[in-house]
């Protein structure tokens, strides 16, 4: 077979992300294809790190036009007048590598791709979504950046030296996006500037700020435990800076490449990352500490004509401080995951990723597929025209006729979500989250629950639980005690209790889907309720909840009968009042008093009467004492269930007499009291919670605090008015 001609068109240097992208393609292609490197920025950087026999040119000539395929790795458009992309020869196939650090691309980039390229590569799964949201209409292929990690992966894993300060570090540019000021403020608040046991080492490779601001920053920390240097350094000096640092920390608002944290991980070192954009993928790795990026900020680009494109995301300062302080207290534990970090990050090393890169040019086979991707098995494209080009140009190893199009249906995705030791709706909301996100991405996927107690004990390696008490081992898959089997055509009820059938071809999920839905858990649910798009979120989750979750008749009939008798046709104000020990889940560690509930409910009653409605109050609570207080306040207006397990007045009185240090401990809530004795575990407790939540969702207004029950009611009835009690 004749050697395939390929052009790589891009910036040439050793340190920038753009230069590293060029280097990755050169490393993968140089020894196997007839490769020419077209330098888009003559006089920029150097080529000493590239193979000496590599063909290089600026600009391209006739030979480069005859290549089968060209790959552009530079910026598509860098402001008015930038036409760098025109340095790509007009070859039959042209790809562009798209890397950006906000959630929306410049319109100019999308226009250039749609009019002049056949497809794009995105360095992270998050960027794939960004490209699609930005109206790129050509195939978008996830292709991670290849890196020369060999020297890091083979280095000796360093442990922090006893007697020396533990050194945190950051390496990057000085610009608003990198959040250097937040990093410095957080370090100062957590450790102070005179703490000899802790150090912060920052190296700023370049700056978008004026020189005066940069020098003022450096001088401000002279004589403290913070050391800041600036400027380009040699390979040896760069490696020396990495060796100084025990843990890399970045609060960057947005990333496209994220090279430096991968290098630290290859050395076995822990990293703390704000999980914005490209960092989100890295946060899945073992021993990587995630800080949630919750604050959207307009993404300003001085280098792109001073315009704004999309948003980037910062953490709340208090979250950053909390996570950093917690890591420092547990820093020794992270030495045990050093090898796991190395193993995870090795997937990006040149040697590991070269086959995938080469399959862009010379794949074993090209499939017509609903998703665009490249793997070690071949190339999958949604564009039939582009597939024909590969066969017509003789680029496919199978050497079949150009009329041969392999059609592969969307790969069936199957996920099994195992129950966790949590309250009922902690378990349930995890399932709904995976159901919603997975089926949105892949409508043909299958998401199933595994609520079998035997499997839970085996998986979590325990026979005791703190909260889970909703059935026994002989109940089988407890999900079926409450709900109908999920309505998939090819999954019958027997699958739920058959280990082999349930897990055949499946991926087990035991996390909280934090990658997609970081605010769903009770720790962050307050922020979920306050999100500007919370209403849209409720409607989205409701779409999948209402389609896939069907309560069993004994539950749905009870709810229908109770609603018809007590709530239907009335203006109902729902109140979910939690046991005060739930304060550990509330912002500030305090739970609202019953008096505050009364103030909010009384105001809603007044508004209802002004609107000529007859108001009633439906109460869902796990405390008998709260029922009595509401009865005294609302009398015949109060609706509540008598057949519910609640803490007794005596138990509540005992709790009230405890010192405050004991009140925030688990063990006082009804599910904790039940879970403490396995003989009391039963499905009745789950039925009570489901019914209460479904009835809350029948309310016109819901007054609530941070709660998995409130979160579930929110998507069960997305039109219900919700009032956070604070």
Domain end marker among 452, 478, 509? 509
Same domain, 582 and 683: yes
DSSP per residue, 124-139 = SHHHHHHHHHTT--S-
401 pLDDT above the threshold of 70 = no
User: Alpha-carbon distance 285 to 345, whole Å?
Assistant: 8
Residue 376 lies in a domain: no
Which of 15, 17, 67, 75 has its CA nearest to residue 37? 67
User: Alpha-carbon distance 57 to 60, whole Å?
Assistant: 6
CATH code at position 125? 3.40.50.11930
Same domain, 138 and 177: no
How confident is the model over 467-495, as pLDDT tens digits? Answer: 888 999 999 999 999 999 999 988 999 99
Same domain, 539 and 500: no
> If you search the block for the tokens 């403020």, which residue do you land on?
185
User: Alpha-carbon distance 433 to 446, whole Å?
Assistant: 13
Contact between 448 and 496 (Cβ < 8 Å) = yes
51 pLDDT above the threshold of 90 = no
Residue 522 lies in a domain: no
DSSP per residue, 342-393 = HHHHGGGBHHHHHHHHHTTTS-S-EEE-SS-EE-SS-EEES-HHHHHHHHHT
Highest mean pLDDT among 68-77, 519-528, 647-656: 68-77
The pLDDT of residue 648 is 67
The pLDDT of residue 586 is 44
How confident is the model over 114-123, as pLDDT tens digits? Answer: 999 999 999 9
Residue 400 lies in a domain: no
E strands present in 114-225? 119-122, 140-142, 166-174, 198-207
CATH code at position 679? 3.40.50.11350
The pLDDT of residue 661 is 45
Residue 665 DSSP one-character state: S
The pLDDT of residue 67 is 94
Residue 695 lies in a domain: yes
The pLDDT of residue 464 is 86
Same domain, 570 and 697: yes
Same domain, 128 and 157: no
How many domains, in total, are found in the chain? 4
Distances (CA, A) of 43 to 13, 40, 46: 11, 10, 8
The pLDDT of residue 410 is 46
Same domain, 312 and 174: yes
Residue 367 lies in a domain: no
- What confidence tier does 412 reach under pLDDT thresholds 50, 70, 90? low
Specify the DSSP element, H or E, that contains 691.
Answer: helix 683-696
Same domain, 533 and 662: yes
pTM listed for this prediction: 0.60
19 pLDDT above the threshold of 70 = yes
The pLDDT of residue 139 is 95
What is residue 686's three-state secondary structure? helix
Helices (H), 442-524: 453-460, 479-482, 499-503
- What confidence tier does 226 reach under pLDDT thresholds 50, 70, 90? very high
Domain limits for position 289: 150-351
Same domain, 163 and 101: no
CATH code at position 166? 3.40.50.2000
Over the Cα atoms of the chain, what is R_g? 29
Q: How many helices (H) and strands (E) does the chain have?
A: 28, 27
The pLDDT of residue 680 is 85
Same domain, 541 and 646: yes
Domain end marker among 143, 161, 185? 143
Same domain, 178 and 139: no
Domain end marker among 509, 537, 567? 509
Residue 370 lies in a domain: no
Q: What is the mean pLDDT of residues 269-293?
A: 88
Output the average pLDDT for the chain: 88
Same domain, 571 and 495: no
- What confidence tier does 371 reach under pLDDT thresholds 50, 70, 90? confident
Contact between 288 and 268 (Cβ < 8 Å) = no
DSSP per residue, 43-90 = TSS--TTS-TT-EEESS--HHHHT-SEEEE-S-S--STT--GGGGS--
504 pLDDT above the threshold of 60 = yes
The pLDDT of residue 53 is 80
How confident is the model over 692-703, as pLDDT tens digits? Answer: 999 999 999 999
pLDDT exceeding 90 applies to what percent of the chain? 63
How confident is the model over 425-469, as pLDDT tens digits? Answer: 999 999 999 999 988 878 889 999 999 999 999 999 998 888 888
Q: What is the mean pLDDT of residues 504-522?
A: 82
Three-state SS string across 225-288, please? CEEEEECCCCHHHHHHHHHHCCEEEECCCCCCCCHHHHHHHHCCCCEEEECCCHHHHHCCCCCE
CA–centroid distance for 296 within its chain: 15
Q: What is the mean pLDDT of residues 516-537?
A: 80
According to DSSP, the residues that pair with 121 across neighbouring strands are 97, 141
Contact between 397 and 408 (Cβ < 8 Å) = no
290 pLDDT above the threshold of 80 = yes
Q: Give the tokens for residue 257.
A: 């490449």
- What confidence tier does 650 reach under pLDDT thresholds 50, 70, 90? low
How confident is the model over 554-608, as pLDDT tens digits? Answer: 999 999 999 999 999 999 999 999 856 544 444 444 568 899 999 999 999 999 9
Residue 542 lies in a domain: yes
Same domain, 210 and 315: yes
Residue 405 lies in a domain: no
| Residue 410 vs residue 489, higher pLDDT | 489
Highest mean pLDDT among 14-18, 96-100, 408-412, 592-596: 96-100
């Amino acid at each position: 077979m004749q050697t395939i001609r390929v052009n790589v068109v891009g910036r040439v240097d050793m340190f920038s992300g753009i230069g590293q992208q060029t280097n990755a393609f050169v490393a993968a292609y140089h020894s196997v294809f007839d490769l020419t490197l077209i330098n888009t920025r003559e006089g920029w950087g150097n080529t000493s790190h590239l193979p000496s026999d590599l063909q290089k040119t600026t600009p391209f000539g006739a030979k480069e036009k005859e290549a089968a395929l060209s790959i552009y790795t530079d910026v598509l458009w860098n402001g008015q007048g930038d036409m760098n992309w025109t340095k790509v020869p007009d070859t039959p196939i042209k790809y562009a590598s798209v890397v950006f650090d906000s959630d929306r691309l410049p319109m100019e980039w999308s226009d250039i791709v749609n009019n002049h390229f056949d497809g794009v590569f995105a360095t992270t799964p998050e960027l794939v979504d960004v490209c699609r949201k930005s109206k790129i209409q050509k195939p978008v292929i996830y292709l991670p950046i290849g890196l020369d990690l060999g020297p890091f992966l083979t280095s000796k894993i360093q442990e922090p030296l006893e007697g020396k300060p533990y050194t945190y570090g950051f390496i990057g540019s000085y610009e608003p996006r990198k959040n250097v000021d937040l990093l410095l403020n957080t370090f100062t608040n957590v450790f102070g500037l005179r703490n000899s046991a802790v150090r912060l080492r920052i190296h700023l490779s370049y700056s978008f700020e004026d020189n005066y601001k940069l020098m003022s920053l450096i001088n401000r920390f002279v004589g403290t435990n913070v050391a800041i240097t600036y400027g380009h350094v040699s390979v040896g000096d760069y490696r020396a800076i990495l060796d100084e640092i025990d843990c890399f920390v970045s609060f960057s608002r947005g990333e496209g490449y994220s090279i430096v944290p991968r290098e630290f991980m290859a050395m076995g070192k822990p990293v703390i990352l704000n999980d914005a954009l490209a960092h989100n993928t890295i946060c899945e790795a073992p021993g990587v500490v995630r800080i949630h990026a919750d604050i959207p900020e307009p993404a300003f680009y001085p280098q792109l004509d001073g315009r704004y494109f999309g948003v980037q995301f910062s953490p709340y300062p208090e979250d950053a401080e909390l996570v950093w302080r917690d890591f420092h207290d547990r820093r020794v534990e992270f030495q045990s995951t050093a090898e796991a970090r190395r193993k995870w990050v090795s997937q990006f090393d040149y040697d590991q990723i070269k086959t995938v890169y080469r399959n862009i040019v010379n794949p074993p086979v090209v499939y017509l597929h609903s998703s665009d991707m490249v793997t070690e098995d071949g190339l999958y494209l949604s564009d039939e025209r582009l597939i024909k080009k590969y066969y017509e140009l003789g680029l496919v190893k199978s050497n079949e006729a150009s009329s041969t199009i392999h059609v592969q249906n969307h790969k069936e995705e199957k996920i099994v979500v195992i129950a966790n030791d949590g309250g009922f709706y902690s378990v349930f909301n995890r399932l709904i989250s995976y159901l919603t996100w997975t089926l949105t991405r892949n409508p043909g996927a299958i998401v199933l629950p595994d609520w079998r107690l035997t499997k839970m004990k085996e998986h979590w390696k325990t026979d005791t639980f703190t909260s889970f008490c909703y059935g026994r081992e002989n109940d089988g898959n407890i999900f079926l005690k409450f709900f109908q089997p999920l309505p998939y055509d090819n999954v019958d009820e027997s699958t739920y209790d058959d280990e082999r059938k349930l897990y055949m071809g499946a991926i087990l999920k035991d996390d909280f889907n934090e990658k997609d839905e970081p605010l769903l858990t009770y720790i962050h649910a307050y922020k979920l309720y306050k999100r500007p798009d919370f209403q849209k979120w409720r409607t989205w989750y409701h779409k999948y909840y209402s389609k896939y979750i069907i309560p069993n008749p004994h539950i749905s009939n009870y709810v229908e009968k109770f609603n018809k008798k007590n709530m239907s046709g009335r203006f109902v104000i729902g109140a979910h009042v939690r046991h005060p020990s739930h304060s550990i889940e509330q912002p500030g560690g305090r739970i609202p008093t019953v008096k505050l509930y009364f103030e909010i409910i009384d105001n809603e009653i007044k508004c209802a009467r002004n609107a000529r409605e007859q108001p009633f109050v439906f109460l869902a609570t796990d405390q008998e004492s709260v029922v009595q207080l509401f009865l005294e306040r609302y009398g015949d207006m109060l609706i509540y269930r008598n057949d519910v397990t609640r803490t007794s007045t005596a138990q509540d009185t005992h709790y009230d007499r405890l010192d405050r240090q004991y009140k925030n401990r688990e063990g006082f809530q009804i599910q904790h009291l039940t879970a403490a004795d396995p003989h009391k575990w039963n499905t009745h407790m789950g039925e009570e919670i489901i019914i209460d939540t479904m009835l809350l969702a029948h309310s016109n207004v819901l007054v609530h605090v941070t709660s998995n029950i409130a979160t579930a009611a929110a998507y069960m009835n997305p039109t219900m008015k919700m009032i956070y009690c604070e």
